[in-house]
Chains A and B, each alone.
Chain A
Amino acid sequence: MTFDPVEICAVLYEERVDFVVLGGFAAIIHGSPLPTEDIDVIPSREADNLERLAVALKRLGARIRTAGGSVETRLDAAFIRNMPHMLNLTTRFGDMDLVFTPAGSLKVYEQWLERSRPAQLREGLIVAVASLDDIIASKVAANRPKDHRSLPYLESLREQLE
C-alpha cells in the first residue's frame, strides 16, 4: 500500500471535516526530516462534524487497525463519539490515527485550531497544521521512547526556523 497522507487530507477536506493535523506528518510540513508512516489528526467533536467525518471515513475505506491486522467496523458518528482517547485506523491511502485527547496541555480540537497554521498541501487543499511548539510540547508530555528520538530533530528544526 502506498502511503498518501495528502489524499487522506483531501478526502477530509472535501467532506468539510474540521480537523487539525498533528504529530509526525505535521512536523514534516514544518520541515522535519523524519519520515512517518501515519497521519495523526484531531477532529472537532461537534455532532455535525462527526457525521461528516463518518462519511469521509467511509470514502477512505477506513478499518480499525490492530496489532493483528485490520478489522471492519461500522465507523459511524455514534461509534466515533464514544471513543475516549484515540482511534487507530488503516485506510486505502495508509494509516491514520484520530486523536481525541492528545498528550499535553492542549486537550481539544478548538485549542489546537487556535494555535494552528494553514498549509497548502496542493492546489486548492489548505489544512490546519498544529504549531511546531505544540507538536513539541505534546511529544514532551507523551514522554515515549519514540518521542525522545524525534525531539532533538524537532528542537533543531525550531531553532532553524527562529
Chain B
Amino acid sequence: MHTTIDDATLIRNYINGDEKAIELLINKHNQRLSSYIYSKVKDMTVTEDIFQDTFIKVISTFKRGTYNEEGKFLPWVMRIAHNLIIDHFRRNKRMPKYQGNQEFNIFSVLTDDKPNAERQLIKDQIDQDLEVLIEQLPKDQLEVLKMRIYQNMSFNEIAENTEVSINTALGRMRYALINLRKLIEKNQIVLTN
C-alpha cells in the first residue's frame, strides 16, 4: 500500500537528521514546482536552475533552524520560486539573451577568420609537403626563398646578406618559384586548401 507522508512530518524528520526525508519532499513536489516554473520561464534549463536554487534556499533554511512550520510548506516554496523567477527576468532585462531561430542565426553575421580544425590540418599538411619540396631546390635559390618567405626579408636585405646584387636575388627567387612549380607538377602534389 502506498502512503503519502505529510510535509510537516517530512520536514520534522529532516530537521532531526533524516536525509531521506528531503529526498521524499523534493520528489513529492518536483512535478508541481517544475511545471509552475516552466509555465513562467518557458525554458527547461532555466527551470532546472530555478528549481535547484529554490531547494537550496529551502535546505539552507531548514538547516539554519529558521523554518516556521505553519502547515504551509508548498505555498512557501512556491513563493521562493516565484521570487527567483522575478530575479531571473530582472537579470535578463538588464542583460538580454538572444537566441537564434530559423529566420536569424547570430553566427551568420559573427564569423571567425581562423580556419576550422579540418582546414588547419590540411594547411599543416601542405606546409609540410612544401618544406620537403623547398629542400630539393638548388642551394642559392633555397637560401633566397627562405629569407623572403620565412624570414620576411626585403630583396635589398637578401642582396646584402647573400652578397649579390638585387637583380641576382630577384632572379634566384624567380627561378626558385619556377623550379618549385616543376617539382609540384612532377610529384603530382595538390597544394590547395
Q: Do A and B come from one complex?
A: no
Residues of chain B touching chain A, judged by Cβ–Cβ distance below 8 Å, are none
